[in-house]
Chains A and B, each alone.
Chain A
Amino acid sequence: MLNPIQVLSSDITSLSLEPEPFASYTEADIISTVEFNHTGELLATGDKGGRVVIFQREPECKTEPYSQGEYNVYSTFQSHEPEFDYLKSLEIEEKINKIRWLPQQNAAHFLLSTNDKTIKLWKVSERDKRPEGYNLKDEEGRIKDLSTVTSLQVPVLKPMDLMVEVSPRRVFANAHTYHVNSISVNSDHETYMSADDLRINLWHLGITDRSFNIVDIKPVNMEDLTEVITAAEFHPHHCNLLVYSSSKGTLRLCDMREAALCDKHSKLFEEPEDPSNRSFFSEIISSVSDVKFSHSGRYLLTRDYLTAKVWDLNMENKPLEIYQVHDYLRSKLCSLYENDCIFDKFECAWNGSDSVIMTGAYNNFFRMFDRNTKRDVTLEASRESSKPRAVLKPRRVCQGGKRRKDDISVDSLDFTKKILHTAWHPTENIIAIAATNNLYIFQDKLNQEMHG
């Protein structure tokens, strides 16, 4: 059995072009979402500049055992552009909030990418042959002089250098008044949902001019607003079930069979607040930033500011497991509020077997928790510690008391280096970590050895 905690070797692919230490990046280079496709062969990242970069895993090469499994750039395209809403005098950011792959049904790959307002369906296809031997035009495409055509030929397909073409197939626009925070493809492979702060819409992948509103929590009087939707996801197997999380720390499971409008939840997952932990910022830190179904569909993983929680769908009154990600920040909430870090939205991820959960933290740290052994590890995604095929060393944050060598104290954490977006390969122990403008891909050493 692979030990997923020993994430050791690494393969760095940086999206910034300048070498360290002079590397500087623009805000547009900051990665805003990371997502593996369903086979794990492709990895897509979106950034604040509206670009999508797709990486493809190189097929394993038996002759060179160390080069197998690396991810290289497959395609880059501009998904969204900045827009201006003239009616409201608001600029619409081009930042890619989420990317979701569609299950592959033919040779082409499809993905959905969304910014604050518009969702787009992109087709990613390869072209490695091109037709040659046209009658009416020559090799360069110029129209032939008809008088030179003496015989007819049937064009034939000849191999060419691989070209990856990306084209927008659908644009789902004008359906959201508020900022879209999540998209999720249904297990029926025909529909998907998009969620903004107050509403969730159900779309058909083939129809762009209308969508169904299935959840609406907007109050009649906006001044009565108390919570917003922060994340939403469809159940991996049951096409009628979806879950959405709120800023109050609650999760609602909705069944679309019950009613057309799923305002009334089927299940409400809520943990009563601990009154001893009450502070000015209790509401902020209880806001759920991400929710993910387990691959089995039995569990939910949620992330709030300080913890990650695993919920059992059959138990609504409290989570099954609570993992403290960086509880040492609890005493620093006020300064984190001042510098806006308290509003950071960390994502979380399951491994393929639902035995390990992973989430990011500050100082380019990310954490993994093994649900079975209850062990956890803190690792760092940085250039210095992530030379190719280097072994990642577990890190520790000390909170006073005995300080070991290489420990980092809470006060020396760099809060500008935050790992908000992480992704785990669907079947193997390969993880993708987005650290500001850099993407790190780590692989389990044991995994490598098994394949090597």
Chain B
Amino acid sequence: MEYKVEAHRIMSISLGKIYNSRVQRGGIKLHKNLLVSLVLRSARQVYLRDYYGGICLSAQQAREWCEGEYMDSEQDKLVPGSTESLPESDGQSEVAVDKGEPINVVESPASLDVESQASGEQEHAENVILDSGCSDLKTTEESPEASATCEVSNVVTTISSNCISDPSPSNPKEATETPTDCQTDDSESVEENSHKPKVPRAYTNRKRSADDSELKDPLPKRTKVISPLLISKNDENKGETEEMDTSNVSSLITIFGSSFSGLLSSEDGAQPDSEVEDSDSGQICCDQMLKNLNPWSTAIVAF
């Protein structure tokens, strides 16, 4: 838990430094900003690990929940060995889940507004289920008592095979180790994380459209859109309960606004594409994220 809080704090400090560098005398210092962006990336990696821990459990819950709704057959089945049916793209199968602590991981989501959680998980679940083929989860409530750790690992595998770019503030703990995360570092994901109105405009739009389309049309979608959905729900509803100091980041990001416009536009351009196509969408998302790795570089390129 401390790691996640620490990582978040470091991320917000890093963003503050990047912002301040814009107004410093003498112009932007390339070396310092490069180092700050590296720290940002490291912190983000740690943060994402926590996210995976939370997401897989949430996904599991959602799958369990949606079992009853969408899948008539194969309900109430625990198929621990269904890992091979899951798509494991990019060789990211070595996702280790801290099997001993699934309950802890889910504790925080449990503190969320349950309804929003449910709706978030619903979409989440749809994607997860359809992605992973036959469901292999029990039907349970979206309760924190997620049990089968093997299911968790299935879900984690699924999710990790896609590009997840947005950590959820609801993930309390660095319970999972996902060494081969999609390296989608960028400050925008941090922005995602905190509830600011402006910069994640693109993300928010993407989420909403994803929400809408999914509600209307339960077509298979990659789980990568799960994260923004989940996050949007979590963000909107959980902000006050979360102790993390996101207000700093949100104000910073609001101020950032214009300097990230270039990134946003590229982001906007990318999202619809990646939403529509399922194949390689994870990869595209990855690429987009990687391009947005160094927000200051947009300014530096102007040198």
Contact = CB atoms under 8 A, between A and B. Distances in A.
Contact of B29 (A88, A179, A223, A227): A179
Nearest to A90: B27
Residue of B13, B39, B290 ringed by the most chain A CB atoms within 10 A: B39
B146 interface: no
B298 to A, nearest CB: 8
A379 B205 CA distance: 60
B26 A93 contact: yes
A143 B17 CA distance: 63
Interface in B1-26: 6-7, 10, 13, 17, 25-26
13 contacts: A85-B27, A90-B27, A93-B26, A116-B26, A116-B27, A179-B27, A222-B301, A247-B34, A280-B7, A281-B39, A337-B10, A338-B13, A340-B17
Interface in A329-347: 334, 337-338, 340, 343
A345 B290 CA distance: 29
A231 to B, nearest CB: 11
Given A177-B303, A222-B294, 9 more contacts: A90-B26, A179-B31, A197-B30, A225-B300, A280-B10, A283-B38, A284-B38, A334-B6, A343-B32
A139 interface: no
B198 interface: no
Nearest to B294: A223
A306 interface: no
B30 A179 contact: yes
Interface string B275-303: 00000000000000011011001001111
Contact of A247 (B6, B31, B302): B31
B175 interface: no
B56 to A, nearest CB: 24
B32 A88 contact: no
B27 A228 contact: no
Given A197-B31, A225-B34, A91 B25 contact: yes
A25 interface: no
Given A91-B25, A337-B13, A223 B291 contact: yes
A91 B10 contact: no
B36 to A, nearest CB: 8
A89 to B, nearest CB: 9
Contacts of B25: 91, 93
Contacts of A359: none
Interface residues of A, number: 33
A198 interface: yes
A172 B122 CA distance: 65
Contact of A280 (B32, B42, B294): B42
A90 B29 CA distance: 12
Interface string A45-89: 000000000000000000000000000000000000000010010
Contacts of A338: 13
Contacts of B26: 90-93, 95, 116, 179
B114 interface: no
B255 interface: no
B30 A178 contact: yes
A217 to B, nearest CB: 12
Residue of B25, B27, B43, B302 ringed by the most chain A CB atoms within 10 A: B27
Chain B's interface size range is: 20 to 34
Interface string A201-216: 0000000000000000
B71 interface: no
A9 interface: no
Contacts of B215: none
A206 to B, nearest CB: 29
Given A88-B302, A88-B303, A334-B10, A228 B34 contact: yes
B10 A88 contact: no
Given A92-B26, A92-B27, A287 B35 contact: yes
Contacts of B6: 334
A316 B301 CA distance: 34
A284 B39 contact: yes
Contacts of B291: 223
A230 interface: yes
Nearest to A82: B25
Interface in A216-260: 222-223, 225-228, 230, 247
Contacts of A284: 35, 38-39
A178 B301 CA distance: 11
B297 A222 contact: yes
Contacts of B34: 225-228, 247
A262 to B, nearest CB: 20
Contacts of B32: 343
Contacts of A90: 26-27
B258 to A, nearest CB: 14
Nearest to B29: A179
B146 to A, nearest CB: 30
B107 to A, nearest CB: 25
A88 B22 CA distance: 13
A283 B39 contact: yes
Contact of B303 (A178, A247, A282, A337): A178
Interface string A104-140: 0000000000001000000000000000000000000
A223 B262 CA distance: 13
A249 to B, nearest CB: 12
A227 B7 CA distance: 23
Contacts of B30: 178-179, 197-198, 225, 228
Contacts of B42: 280-283
Residue of B6, B26, B291 ringed by the most chain A CB atoms within 10 A: B26
